[in-house]
Structure 1
Amino acid sequence: MTSKIKYQKNYTEFNETYQLVLPLSLEGFVPDDDSVRLLSHELEELDYTLLYKAYSSKGRNPAVDPKTMFKILTYAYSQNIYSSRKIEQACRRDINFMWLLAGQKAPDHSTIARFRTGFLAEACEDLFYQMVRRLKDAEELSMETVFIDGTKLEACANKYTFVWKKSVGKWEEKMFHKIQEAVRLLNHDYMQSFTVNAESRAQDLQKISDYLEEKCQQDGTEFVYGRGRRKSKNQKYLELFQRFRERQVTYDWHTASFHGRNNYCKTDPDATFMHMKDDHMRNAQLKPGYNIQIGVDSEYIVSADVFQDRNDVWTLVPFLKMMDKKLGFRYPSVTADSGYESEEGYTYLRSSGQKPYIKPQTYEKWKKRSFKQDISKRENMGYDKETDTYTCHAGKKLKALFVKKQKSKSGYESEVTVYECEDCANCPHKEKCTRAKGNKRLYISKSFLEKRQESYENILSETGIQYRMNRSIQVEGAFGVLKNDYEFQRFLLRGKTKVKLEILLLCMGYNLNKLHAKIQKERTRTYLFEVQSA
């Protein structure tokens, strides 16, 4: 009869002997052309002063040197490993991670998480742009143009915890009417003169609650609860106004969390609900996310930022300003798709001396026959520059009436000239030309049209055609690699600061992998793909 099998925690006690085959050094296990060697070399040359300042000079030393921890984290992101627990596992099992540790003890997941969200938060951006400047010094960047594009990535948040600005305003207004009625009854019953103003609702409600609390103490009011117990007038009023105040504080909190947006997410207040391109149900439903903007030059990501705006048009100017500040140099031209076109963007590019290669929003429509035959469009009307008039399909003049000023969401002010047709009555083409009951009007920004024409001519040049082709290859290709090859489609951390930290680590890993691929394929110092002749 066989003896019972007994298991124990220490597996070496099973008395099975193995011959040690690993060498004392791991150097021979890492190939000479492995990307981890390049990563270690490139990151070794960076200045880590800002990172070391995040650590206290007092107390014990960190378990793993901060420079080594940064190498491990960057290499993990370059190898599609994002979870702190999986990074810990890689440090214990993966030869490349062991080689980076260079004999140091493998950090546990909590140490990795604390380093990523705490110590690295401020230094990561500085280290990323140091790496970009190294690429510039190595002549890996063309310095001709920067390709800009954006994508939406899902936040680490519950998709059912949305708060809508319109709904908050509606319910707050309904409650305000109830408050006014309750204040009127309170003043009548207690012979008081309380008021609740729209600008100071919470403070006014607090004053009323304080008065009612004092009144309850003076009258010795006994508070009762439960079924069949009749509440006193003092208790009813006090509980009513306390509920009003609690709800008002909640509404004020919601209003303060919008930051100019029309919604936010409760589990990650920095996230905005956006239409993602696709989801598991393939119905493009609203999800909490961030608008990620990147600038690409010579296939390298030279800049990255996180925005809460769903529309790319409001991100261009702040993104370019951030690039100028962080990079320390300015690109002579900017290439972007039609989603970035605006008068504000054109004006900024002209003031900064940068040449725009931005496709007009109506560029594709201009090619269609239906657009060319649409008599309501300004482009299909004759224009006389001397008299500043347009001629419609019926041969009638549209004259300038007045100029009005419009202010955009960002505060940019533009001038719009309003043109009106001299007489649309009894015109046989009116149904195809306008839906207005009166005469047809055109709203035209002359400054915008002039700047748009300049950009349109730029993209039609040989250089513009090459830039547009490279934009679709380089910047959209970079997003394709990050989202599909790297499988990064949802953030692990919450809050705009931490989300930016994640995207910078991802971009840094992408750049190092790109540099490694270019070196191995002998493609260094190649900048633009050539346009293939037909």
Structure 2
Amino acid sequence: MPRFKPYDTRQNLLLPINLAEQLVPGSFEYTLNYLVDHEIDTSIFHDHYHNDETGRLAYDPAMLLKVVLFAYSRGITSSRRIEKACRENVVFMALSADSQPHFTTIADFISRMYKPVGQLFIQVLMICDQLGLIGKDMFAIDGRKMSSNASKEWSGTHSELKGKKKKLEKAVSRLLKRHREHDAHEQVNPQHQRDDEQRIETLKKASRRIKTFLKEQPERTNKRNQPLKGNVTDPDSAKMKTAKGVIQGYCGVAAVDSKHQVIMHGEAYGHGAEQSTLIPTVKAIDAQCRWLGHSDIFKTARITADSGFHSRENLEALTRLNVDAYIADNQYRQRDPDFDQAGRYRVQHKKERAALARQRGKTVATGRFTTRDFRFDTRTMTCTCPAGKPMWLSSAKAMIGGKPAYQFCGYVHHCRDCPMKAQCLRRLDQKRPRSVAFFYKEVVDQQKPDVLQIMKDKIDSPAGKRIYSKRLAVAEPPFAHMQAMGLSELTLRGRPKVNGQWQLMCALHNLKKIHGFGGEKLQQRMEKVQKHG
């Protein structure tokens, strides 16, 4: 018969526990505890408290900050889960001194952190600079789209939301009509009646929410004066396209230093377009460096960003600011021979479509010439096709998409017998010749020093390619780091609070960098504190 060690769950144990000893030297929680206690000024959180003479004693914001930052580092953003961890997890107990704060206290602290979190971010950044973690040679700017605490089902233009409100009101009318019919025929089921009453109250509440939103929130429009969709739950958020579909959320933009991927600046925006965020981010980098005591940082530092930030307005603004920038356009990879095989699967798909079309008795052309392949002389107002044949000016005042343009057309006999028509015409049996249009604005811009062409030449040069190739290794790791920590969604509502939460995530990333790369300087600081008690 097998024998086992005896065990009894009813026995009493006396375990002497020192909470400080649960924070193991070399661990992130040990570094976090030291930094909050000795390097970070937590008095920035004191403005909220007004219990100097009367009122109940409050939890120390330093303790709450430790708990929240450590919880975020473990991917725990729910205040209820943080409260549970403070009761059950020994590390959380050590950081909180076994205070066991209620989840409402934690939630309140997180929701109002957006005011002082900017100062917290700067303090962490200053520690990074003191430890030599910031190189200030190159800054990569990129954005990350994150889901917000709002459903995209409650998004729409004012016109769409008015239609949704009418549908809700019709649904309420149908339920009330059914009630009256059942009462008239004395077919009342108490359970069904309670369910219908609850459903009616839910629909009325939703209708009131939409009505309040339409009354209080003016309709937003884009540059073309077209209405933009708003969200009833979080009006500051927006619908955004991502690789995994459409989300309701914010775009968190970060400027990252190239030495150790320390985030120099972070800000959340309630729109998916990144172009408008570039110049404010560049100015914020300059302001942060001035805080650190480094003026005129862009005399030596460079800026890199992907095609999402590329626009004529941005390039002109960077030229005025004398910033050495490397920003790719959306045709950059197509011009780069290193990526000549990047679209091989897409090309195969086009070939398959062409083969299918030929089977159906049609002949299609693939790889058509674009407007850039046609030479337009603005002085003589003449145009030459890729085959070197002249084209005639069919209209000097053509309107295409509401924009004025010069339109040129090829000669029928040139196009019919041209050996390059497979790359020019939509179909090889097409009878109409090729036409091409040049918009007025593009013609005017050609006569000026073109910042777009200057940037293309700059980024296509061997030196430009080497510099821009570093962007991916600088900008993306912080986002991957946040994803690995479990910080994939935003839990607050409203741009001010969401911006504070995004900056808190960026500060946490930088704290991790301090822990990982602080080295001997950080160790010396810790030993000095231990030596002096």
**Normalised TM-score (structure 2):** 0.67
For the pair 1:98 / 2:67, whether they are aligned, the reply is no
CA distance in 1, matches of 2:522, 2:334: 38
Q: Is the 8 A contact 2:392 2:411 kept in 1?
A: no
Q: Deviations over 1:270-325 (max 9, x none)?
A: 221223322xxxxx2x3311112111113112211111222222332333344444
CA positional deviation for 1:253: 2.8
**1:341 maps to what in 2?**
310
CA contact (8 A) 1:381 1:391 kept: yes
Matched letter for residue 477 of structure 1: P
**Which residue, out of 137, 144, 148, partners 1:151?**
144
Write out per-residue CA displacement over residues 13-43 of structure 1, whole angstroms, 9 at most, x where no aligned residue. x973213243xx3333322212223223333
Q: In the alignment, which residue of structure 2 is the partner of 1:262?
A: 228
Q: 1:501 to 1:77 in 2, by over 3 A?
A: same
Relative to structure 1, the CA distance from residue 26 to residue 264 in structure 2 (aligned partners, 3 Å threshold; closer, same or farther) is: same
Checking the alignment, whether the CA contact within 8 Å between 2:93 and 2:99 is kept in structure 1 is no
Residues 1:55 and 2:17 aligned together: no
1:379-431 Cα shifts (integer Å, max 9, x gaps):
33346687686532343268896999x99xxxxxxxx9955438656651699
CA change 1:128–1:247 in 2 (3 A) is closer
1:473 aligned partner: 473
Amino acid of the residue matched to residue 507 of structure 2?
Answer: M
Asked if structure 2 preserves the Cα contact closer than 8 Å seen for 1:144 and 1:333, the reply is: yes
Flag structure 2 segments of 5+ consecutive residues without an equivalent: 1-8, 166-179, 182-207, 342-346, 348-365, 427-431, 524-533
Residue by residue, what CA displacement relative to the aligned partner does 1:239-293 show, whole Å, maximum 9, x if unpaired?
xxxxxxx999668438615465621222222221223322xxxxx2x33111121
Letter in 1 for 2:107: A
Q: CA deviation at 1:114?
A: 1.0
Structure 2 residue 104 is matched with structure 1 residue 110: yes
The alpha-carbon deviation at position 143 of structure 1 amounts to: 0.8
C-alpha distance 130-437 of structure 1, shift in aligned 2 (>3 A) = farther
Q: What CA RMSD, in Å, does the superposition of the two structures yield over aligned residues?
A: 4.3
Whether the aligned pair in 2 keeps the contact of 1:417 and 1:446 (CA below 8 Å) is no
1:421 paired to 2:408: yes
Report the Cα offset of residue 434 of structure 1. 7.9
Contact 2:328 2:456 in 1 (8 A): yes
Shift of 1:91: 2.5
Deviates more, 1:300-309 or 1:435-444: 435-444
Is the partner of 1:292 in helix, strand or coil? strand
| Cα distance change of structure 1 residues 447 and 131 upon mapping to structure 2, 3 Å threshold | farther
Structure 2 CA distance for partners of 1:251 and 1:138, relative to 1, 3 Å: closer
Distance between the aligned counterparts of 1:447 and 1:263, measured in 2? Answer: 38
Out of 122, 126, 129, which is 1:129 matched to? 122
Q: Give % identity.
A: 22
Question: Is 2:64 the partner of 1:69?
Answer: yes
Match of 1:509 in 2: 508
Give structure 1 stretches of 5+ with no counterpart: 1-13, 173-225, 228-245, 279-283, 408-415, 525-534
Whether the 8 Å CA contact 1:390–1:398 is kept in 2: the answer is yes
C-alpha contact (below 8 Å) 2:408/2:436 kept by paired residues: yes
- The answer to whether residue 415 in structure 2 is matched with residue 455 in structure 1 is no
Q: Structure 1 pair 27/427, CA: closer, same or farther in 2 (3 Å)?
A: same
Secondary structure, in 3 states, of the residue corresponding to 1:452? helix
2:263 counterpart residue number: 301
Q: Say if 2:237 is the partner of 1:271.
A: yes
Instruction: Give the SS at the match of 2:254.
Output: strand
- 1:153 counterpart SS class: strand
Question: 8 Å contact 2:234–2:494 — kept in the other structure?
Answer: yes
What are the Cα deviations for residues 49-94 of structure 1, in whole angstroms up to 9, with x where unaligned?
4322232254336532122322222222122221112222232333
Deviation per residue, 1:146-192 (Å, 9 max, x gap): 111112111112332222356358899xxxxxxxxxxxxxxxxxxxx
SS at match of 1:440: strand
- Report the equivalent of 2:385: 392
| Residue in structure 1 matching 2:280, options 315, 318, 337 | 318
Distance in 2 separating the partners of 1:248 and 1:111: 31
Map of 2:189 onto structure 1: none
Question: Which secondary structure state, in structure 1, belongs to the residue aligned with residue 469 of structure 2?
Answer: helix
In the alignment of these two chains, the number of paired residues is: 424
Residue 182 of structure 1 aligns with which residue? Answer: none
